[in-house]
């Protein structure tokens, strides 16, 4: 893939491929590493998305999928804590999306990312009824989770979130647990905890940090995690750890499904509770108002955000890599690291990831293990050593 945008004219005509919808701007807990409240601009927004904004958003979604003849348009409900929006609003939105699907033929899969504290049977019934998939933030066992994920009174939230995760695992609901890596603890603490909870699909995400910070090294943690993943899946696939499968996917030359791994443009469009449109949510790690645009869904169609300078600047930064990344042998697989991890006050996004040394070590370790142990099964039954597959990619 080239390291620059291929065709500006084609860019203007492309649809936005997924939507992040902020239905609540406040939260019911107080995590110490939360990037959302690093940007005080969130307090200027309504606490919850109102009916008028939701109606307009649904119109814009239908207009967008029809205009571009989309067959799939994922919608991620987010916050703050999105369940503060209330279960009735979730039902209303999901039913409206089902109506749009039946009129346009476009699937509108809904996912929600939640801290899980409010989950009860009514929520489970709603998720199951509308096939809403759930990402629940759970940093593994209590001694890791409760370091950062606390109530406003300072008490840990682990017991409530583990209860919610177990409830989700007991129902027919697509669920992924999202943990943030704390490299001060061994990866076995996470892997054993999720196995004991019956959670076989989870991620252990790289902690957010910019180049202006000095986060601890993560390579030993992830190299250990990779070994545990290999061991757990040796006989048959039993556990999916998203960052590991994404890194392997990217290393083998395919697009990883998540934005944090691999070389590809970040094109997420975020809708706020007042209908304003923002650039990628997590870029507010860079500070106050950094993601704000001049667009809103009352005046602009969803795909018009492509003409908005701030949104386009963030999108362009995601594929314009610094010199070091352009010359790196893992450029395609790593993509310079997750966009917010490339930010510095001095150079903007023109840096390798703050985790560059770690990422290099992780990809190198993964590549050497894959080359020596794994085979790719070809459709005709031929088995291809991964070293050969990597050379052909
Ligand atoms: S649950 Fe999410 S939004 Fe709420 S404080 Fe924690 S990280 Fe921030
Ligand atoms: S390993 Fe470092 S130099 Fe290589 S692409 Fe990733 S961030 Fe850039």
pLDDT digits (tens, 9 = 90+) for 41-64: 788 899 999 999 999 999 999 999
Ligand 1 atom with the shortest distance to the CA of 114: 1
Least confident of 117-126, 285-294, 330-339, 374-383: 285-294
Q: Which of 276, 300, 280, 304 is nearest to 290 (CA)?
A: 280
Atom of ligand 1 nearest to the CA of 149: 6
The dihedrals phi and psi of 137, each to the nearest 5 degrees, come to -80, 110
> What dotted CATH number matches 15-321?
3.20.20.70
Q: Whole-angstrom Cα distance, residue 224 to residue 192?
A: 13
332 alpha carbon – ligand 2 mean position (Å): 9
pLDDT in tens, 173-188: 999 999 999 999 999 9
For residue 266, name the pLDDT band (cuts at 50, 70, 90). confident
Atom of ligand 1 nearest to the CA of 37: 8
pTM beyond 0.75: yes
Tell me the pLDDT band of 7, cut-offs 50, 70 and 90: low
CA of 62 to the centre of ligand 2 (A): 39
In the predicted structure, residue 286 carries a pLDDT above the cut 80: no
At 250, the pLDDT band (50, 70, 90 cuts) reads: very high
Query: Which ligand neighbours the alpha carbon of 136 most closely?
Result: 1
Distance CA 274, CA 257 (A): 29
The 10s digit of each residue's pLDDT in 129-171 is 999 999 999 999 999 999 999 999 999 999 999 999 999 999 9
Nearest CA to ligand 2 atom 6: 336
Q: Where are the domains of the chain?
A: 15-321
Residue 234 CB neighbour total at 10 angstroms = 10
CB of residue 139 inside a 6 A radius of ligand 1: no
> 99: CA distance to ligand 1 center in Å?
31
């Amino acid at each position: 893939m080239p390291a620059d945008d291929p065709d500006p004219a084609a860019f203007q005509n492309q649809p936005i491929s997924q939507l992040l919808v902020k239905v609540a701007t406040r939260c019911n807990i107080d995590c110490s590493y939360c990037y959302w409240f690093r940007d005080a601009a969130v307090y200027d927004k309504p606490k919850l998305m109102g009916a008028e904004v939701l109606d307009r958003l649904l119109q814009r979604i239908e207009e967008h999928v029809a205009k571009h003849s989309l067959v799939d348009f994922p919608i991620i409900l987010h916050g703050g804590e999105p369940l503060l929006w209330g279960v009735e609003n979730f039902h209303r939105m999901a039913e409206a999306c089902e109506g749009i699907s039946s009129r346009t033929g476009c699937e509108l899969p809904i996912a929600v990312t939640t801290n899980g504290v409010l989950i009860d049977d009514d929520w489970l019934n709603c998720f199951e009824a509308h096939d809403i998939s759930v990402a629940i933030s759970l940093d593994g066992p209590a001694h890791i989770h409760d370091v950062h994920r606390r109530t406003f009174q300072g008490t840990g939230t682990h017991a409530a979130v583990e209860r919610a995760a177990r409830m989700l695992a007991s129902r027919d609901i697509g669920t992924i647990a999202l943990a943030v890596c704390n490299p001060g603890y061994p990866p076995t603490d996470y892997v054993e905890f999720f196995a004991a909870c019956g959670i076989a699909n989870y991620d252990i995400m790289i902690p957010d940090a910019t180049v202006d910070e000095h986060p601890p090294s993560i390579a030993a943690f992830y190299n250990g995690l990779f070994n545990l993943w290999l061991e757990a899946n040796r006989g048959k696939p039993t556990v999916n750890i998203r960052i590991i499968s994404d890194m392997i996917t990217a290393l083998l030359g395919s697009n990883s499904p998540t934005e944090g791994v691999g070389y590809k443009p970040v094109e997420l469009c975020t809708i706020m509770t007042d209908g304003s449109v923002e650039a990628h949510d997590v870029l507010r790690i860079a500070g106050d108002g950094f993601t704000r645009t001049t667009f809103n869904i009352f005046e602009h169609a969803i795909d018009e955000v492509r003409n908005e300078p701030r949104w386009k600047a963030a999108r362009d930064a995601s594929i314009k890599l610094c010199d070091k990344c352009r010359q790196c042998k893992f450029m395609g697989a790593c993509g310079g690291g997750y966009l917010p991890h490339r930010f510095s006050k001095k150079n903007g996004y023109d840096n390798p990831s703050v985790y560059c040394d770690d990422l290099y070590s992780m990809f190198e370790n993964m590549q050497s293990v894959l080359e020596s142990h794994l085979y790719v099964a070809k459709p005709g039954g031929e088995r291809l050593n991964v070293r050969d597959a990597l050379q052909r990619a």
